[in-house]
């Protein structure tokens, strides 16, 4: 029987947080796609627990920030790291606890740094965040195919062909796409098949993720923590708060090199270990799942191979200690989606797609290496180094993009949060109640923020007519807001900032060159 063939613009491989967010961003850009995921649904494991400031800005642009905060409200009080021989002892005498306040003290500029965003860090476990994102995608009627598995793929100069199996019916079919986003995780089949060279520490330090239920709310209420570290001759590992009530995860150091396997840890043994680390007499414990994993840092040398793009863990696998794995994936696909749309819909040049690697690979590589540095010799988080790296961990983009998709002076040092080309558009509250930010002007479109109306409408219309790209023209009407904006961005009356759909400043303009700048950015 001849296999059915379907056609789409983009195929997304992977329905985790990176793939699902890619779906929302492609939909926002009006790009057709099909998402396939081999599992039957979103993650049932908590895994990533922190959504950083920049990623919350991105979810704000998708209208998801409030839902994610609500979903993670039970975890929200869980901050700080404590150490001890058992949890009961550590909570009674939290020596060495690293608190959010101490993190803020660690870098004098952190407070003003945090004020440069309309958002703050959100605590929300990945099982909840993925479910929220997935439900939003389903409500939009997007083509999400869970329990459909890629069997093979190939690409040529014109398209990507993917052989897929419906795991319910066993039916096989082919999807032909212009491009593929490979968000298929740390063990990416796509990365391996493409034989992309990698760097980084590789894998080291084996742990068992013991996900369990135990009613400990009475114990931790008012004394909430994020991590409890234990390092004794008998037990080394860390306990993570999941909901401050009855869900917890203990990551136990174990030693396959000495013959340890999962079978070495039957349920009775695990419960004995958990009782020991809790320090509570005979608590009722139910083991939900046990998963082996390794601390891993792998950085792909290329995030683009012709028509295939790596995103998230497939491109930069990192330890959870910097809290950046899921965040980096979301930021990857936000950067990529508008560029794919520009090529597919507006005739942008292929070089624009090369800027995805140029802009995102250094960022992913930096956080991957940092996550490895934050692991101490026993595989626990190095909380001393964590304090010194506090500014990096908060998640605001104090980095700049330097590529052909940015129009900036050569060799100009980056100055952050003032509207310089290559940096994220500055945040300014636009109302007294501080509910509307200058970032809310963007929402996935090109925006020209002009300090006056003189001539800019004509230039905007010219771009729309010749390039078929809509640019939203924004001129602050409130004189007080306008003066604050000009002061913040160091711009003059006749100047404007061109903002890309991913919130980054593409150019600072004076007049008569918007069309030329757009063509340059789009590699036309």
Which CATH number covers residue 313? 3.50.50.60
Task: Please give the Cα distance from 518 to 463 (Å, whole number).
Answer: 8
Tokens describing residue 178? 């212009």
Parallel/antiparallel/unpaired status of strands 148-155 and 160-166:
antiparallel
Residue 402 half-sphere exposure toward CB, CA atoms < 13 A: 10
Span 285-340, pLDDT tens digits: 999 999 999 999 999 999 999 999 999 999 999 999 888 999 999 999 999 999 99
C-alpha radius of gyration, the chain, whole number: 24
In a domain, 193, yes or no: yes
Q: How many CB atoms lie within 10 A of CB 137?
A: 20
Asked if residue 92 belongs to a domain, the reply is: no
Last residue of one domain, picked from the residues 361, 394, 427: 394
Beta bridge partners of residue 401, listed in sequence order: none
In this predicted structure, what is the pLDDT of residue 455?
Answer: 87
Q: What are the tens digits of pLDDT across the range 341-354?
A: 999 998 899 999 99
Residues 433, 518, single domain; the answer is: yes
Return the minimum-mean-pLDDT range out of 30-34, 178-182, 451-455: 451-455
- Which residue is listed with tokens 């975890």? 75
324 in Cβ contact with 15 (< 8 Å): no
409-417 long-range contacts, CB within 8 A, separation 24+: 417/116
Domain co-membership, 426 together with 470: yes
331 and 448 both lie in a single domain: no
Looking at residue 394, its pLDDT comes to 72
Residue-wise DSSP of 44-65 = -S----EE-HHHHHHHHHTT-H
Together in a domain, 382 and 406: no
Q: What percent of the chain has pLDDT over 70?
A: 96
For the stretch 140-186, pLDDT in tens is 999 999 999 999 999 999 999 999 999 999 999 999 999 999 999 99
Look at residue 516 and give its three-state secondary structure.
helix
Between CA 457 and CA 459 the distance in angstroms is: 5
Beta bridge partners of 308: 180, 305
Helix or strand holding residue 498 (H, E): strand 496-499
Phi-psi region at 363: left, alpha or beta (left = phi > 0; alpha = psi -120 to 50): alpha
Domain membership of residue 185 (yes or no) is yes
| Among candidate residues 394, 426, 445, the one where a domain is terminated | 394
Q: Which residues 6+ apart lie within 8 Å of 204 measured at CB?
A: 294, 295, 296
Same domain for 436 and 306: no
455 to 158, 496, 507, 510: CA distances (angstroms): 41, 11, 17, 10
Q: What are the structure tokens assigned to 424, written together?
A: 């994220």
pLDDT of the residue at 367 = 94
Evaluate whether residue 432 is within a structural domain: yes
- Verify that 425 and 303 share a domain, yes or no: no
- Distance, CA of 7 to CA of 175 (rounded, Å): 6
Query: Could you read off the pLDDT of 390-437 as tens digits, one per residue?
Result: 777 776 777 899 999 999 887 777 888 889 999 999 999 999 999 999
Contact 448, 513 (CB under 8 A): no
Looking at the structure of the chain, the number of domains it has is 2
Categorize the per-residue pLDDT at 9 as very low, low, confident or very high, splitting at 50, 70 and 90: very high
> Tokens at residue 463, please?
């771009």
Residue 212 in any domain: the answer is no
What is the rounded CA–CA span in Å between residue 5 and residue 160? 12
C-alpha to C-alpha distance for 475 and 497, rounded to whole angstroms: 11
> How many whole angstroms separate alpha carbon 148 and alpha carbon 171?
10
> Are residues 431 and 458 both part of a single domain?
yes
Give the pLDDT of residue 79.
86
Residue 452 belongs to a domain? yes
Average pLDDT for the chain: 92
Q: Are residues 164 and 56 in the same domain?
A: yes
- To the nearest 5 percent, what fractions of the chain are helix, strand and coil? 35, 25, 40
- Rounded to the nearest angstrom, the gap between the alpha carbon of residue 68 and the centroid of all alpha carbons in its chain is 14
| Per-residue pLDDT, 117 | 94
State residue 411's pLDDT score.
Answer: 72
- Say if 176 falls within a structural domain: yes
- Residue 107: per-residue pLDDT: 44
Residue of 203, 201, 292 whose CA lies nearest to 253: 292
- Higher pLDDT among residues 444 and 100, named by residue: 444
**Do the domain assignments include residue 434?**
yes
With beta carbons less than 8 A apart as the criterion, state whether 96 and 83 touch: yes
Q: Is 384 helix (H, G, I), strand (E, B) or coil?
A: helix
**Backbone angles phi and psi of 108, in degrees to 5:** -60, -30
Tokens of 346: 């507006």
CA dihedral for 48, 240, 390, 62, sign (positive or negative): positive
Same domain, 390 and 404: no
Using DSSP's 3-state secondary structure scheme, residue 512 falls into coil
Domain, as residue range, for 12 = 4-71+121-198+299-394
Query: What gap in Å lies between CA 263 and CA 259, rounded to an integer?
Result: 10
Tell me which residue has tokens 């993570």: 240
Same domain, 149 and 28: yes
Cα-based torsion angle of the residue sequence 358, 360, 362, 367 in order, rounded to the nearest 10 degrees: 180
Residue 385 pLDDT class (50, 70, 90 cuts): confident
Tell me what the mean pLDDT of segment 222-240 comes to.
93
Q: With pLDDT > 90 as the criterion, what percentage of the chain qualifies? A: 82
- Determine the 3-state secondary structure of 416 from DSSP: coil
Under DSSP, is residue 448 helix (H, G, I), strand (E, B) or coil?
strand
Which residues are CB-neighbours of 156 under 8 A, at least 6 positions away? none
b or e along 202-231 (b: 16 or more beta carbons within 10 Å of the residue's beta carbon)? eeebbbbbbbbebebeebbeeeebbbbbbb
251/204 Cα distance (integer angstroms): 14
**Mean pLDDT of the 13-21 span:** 98
Answer yes or no: do 345 and 316 share one domain: yes
Tell which of 394, 428, 443 closes a domain.
394
> What CATH number does residue 497 fall under?
3.40.30.120
Residue identified by tokens 């409030």 is 66
What pLDDT does residue 100 have? 52
Which pLDDT belongs to residue 396?
75
* Shared-domain flag, residues 366 and 453: no
**Which 3-state string (H, E, C) describes 116-148?**
CCCCCCEECCHHHHHHHHHHHHHHCCCCEEECE
Token pair for 170? 């066993």
């Amino acid at each position: 029987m001849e296999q059915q063939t379907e056609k789409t613009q983009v195929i997304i491989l992977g329905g985790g947080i990176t793939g699902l967010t890619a779906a929302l961003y492609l939909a926002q850009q009006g790009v057709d796609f099909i998402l396939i995921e081999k599992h039957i649904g979103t993650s049932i494991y908590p895994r990533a627990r922190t959504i950083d400031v920049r990623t919350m800005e991105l979810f704000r642009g998708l209208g998801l920030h409030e839902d994610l905060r609500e979903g993670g409200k039970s975890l929200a009080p869980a901050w700080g790291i404590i150490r001890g021989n058992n949890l009961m002892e550590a909570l009674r005498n939290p020596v060495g606890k690293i608190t959010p306040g101490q993190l803020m003290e660690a870098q004098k500029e952190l407070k003003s740094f945090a004020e440069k965003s309309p958002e703050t860090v959100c605590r929300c476990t990945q099982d909840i965040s993925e479910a929220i994102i997935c439900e939003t995608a389903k409500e939009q009627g997007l083509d999400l195919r869970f329990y459909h598995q890629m069997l093979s793929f190939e690409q040529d100069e014109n398209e990507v062909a993917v052989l897929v199996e419906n795991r319910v019916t066993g039916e096989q079919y082919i999807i032909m796409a212009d491009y593929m986003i490979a968000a298929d995780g740390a063990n990416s089949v796509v990365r391996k098949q493409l034989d992309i060279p990698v760097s980084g520490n590789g894998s080291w330090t084996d742990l068992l993720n013991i996900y369990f239920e135990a009613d400990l709310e009475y114990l931790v209420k008012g004394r909430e923590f994020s991590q409890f570290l234990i390092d004794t001759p008998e037990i080394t590992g860390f306990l993570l708060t999941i909901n401050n009530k009855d869900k917890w995860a203990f990551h136990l150091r174990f030693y396959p090199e000495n013959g340890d396997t999962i079978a070495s840890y039957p349920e009775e043994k695990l419960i004995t270990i958990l009782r020991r680390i809790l320090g509570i007499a005979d608590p009722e414990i139910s083991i939900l799942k046990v998963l082996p994993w390794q601390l891993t840092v792998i950085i792909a040398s290329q995030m683009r191979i012709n028509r295939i793009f790596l995103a998230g863990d497939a491109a930069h696998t990192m330890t959870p200690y910097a809290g950046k794995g899921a965040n980096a994936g979301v930021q990857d696909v936000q950067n990529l989606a508008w560029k794919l749309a520009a090529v597919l819909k507006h005739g942008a040049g292929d070089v624009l797609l090369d800027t995805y690697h140029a802009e995102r690979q250094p960022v992913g590589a930096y956080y991957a290496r940092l996550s490895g540095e934050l692991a101490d010799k026993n595989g626990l988080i190095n909380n001393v180094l964590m304090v010194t790296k506090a500014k990096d961990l908060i998640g605001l983009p104090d980095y700049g993009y330097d590529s052909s998709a940015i129009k900036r002076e050569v060799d100009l040092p980056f100055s952050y949060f003032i509207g310089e080309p290559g940096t994220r558009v500055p945040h300014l509250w636009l109302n007294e109640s501080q509910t509307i930010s200058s970032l809310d002007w963007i929402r996935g479109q090109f925006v020209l923020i002009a300090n006056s109306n003189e001539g800019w409408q004509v230039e905007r219309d010219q771009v729309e007519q010749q390039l078929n790209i809509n640019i939203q023209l924004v001129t602050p009407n409130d004189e007080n807001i306008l003066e604050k904006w000009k002061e913040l961005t160091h711009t003059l009356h006749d100047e404007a900032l061109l903002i890309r759909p991913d919130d980054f400043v593409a150019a600072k303009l004076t007049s008569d060159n918007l069309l030329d700048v757009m063509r340059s950015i789009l590699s036309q």
